Amino acid sequence: MAKLIYGLNQSLDGYIDHQSFAPGASLFRHFIEQVRNQTGMVYGRGMYEVMRYWDDDLPDWDAQEREFAAAWQSKPKWVVSRSLKSVGPNATLVADDVEAAMRRLKAEHPGEIEVAGPDLARSLGDLGLIDEYQIYLHPVVVGSGKPFFAGPRPPLRLVANELIVENVIRLTYVPA
């Protein structure tokens, strides 16, 4: 049975604004390996549109970016959206009965499935479907943006903390 894991980079003041701070080379290497080991990804519309960047093969990408893109492209993606009419390669649109679709994913697949997007994570958390929350805490304050938690923080219990690279700690929580 798969675990649904919601994890994103977060500033000290609780925001996930990917344009205000980006992973350095060592953290990016960590994310490449993480994607390689995941079963797949579940995205809300907004995060999927951000991540579609990796469907392209841009000439100015370096070797690490090409490696991440190849790993990302190889994984199945499920996109939860009522507004999208179609999705890109290796992606499946989930427009109806999200709860049943996510319960099926968990039952039919092994390993870890990433959940990305705070609104989607809030909805899935409200349904009791998020198994783990991973906060990659960066030592920056951005002052605004989209918060990691899109609504009231669910009751959580810290199960692990790990220095991933210099200045970035991963805090792992499970529902309490």
CATH number of the domain to which 25 belongs: 3.40.430.10
Which residue range(s) make up the domain with 105?
Answer: 3-142
Average pLDDT score over residue span 16-20: 83
**Mean pLDDT over residues 15-23, rounded?**
85
pLDDT confidence bin for 21, thresholds 50/70/90: confident
Residue listed under structure tokens 């999927």:
48
Nearest Cα residue to 119 out of 7, 44, 174: 44
Which value, to the nearest 10 degrees, does the dihedral of the CA atoms of residues 164, 73, 51, 16 take?
-10
Residue 164 counted as domain residue? no
Question: How many structural domains comprise the chain?
Answer: 1
Query: Is residue 155 in some structural domain?
Result: no
In a domain, 17, yes or no: yes
Q: Return the structure tokens found at 37.
A: 């080991």
For residue 116, what are the β-bridge partners?
43
Q: Is residue 167 part of a domain?
A: no
Q: What 3-state class would DSSP assign to 58?
A: coil
Q: Does position 19 have pLDDT exceeding 90, yes or no?
A: no
State what percent of residues in the chain have pLDDT above 70.
100
Query: 157 forms bridges with which residues in the sheet?
Result: 174
Res. 140: pLDDT tops 90: yes
* Tokens (6 digits) for 145: 């943006």
Does the residue 107 lie in any domain? yes
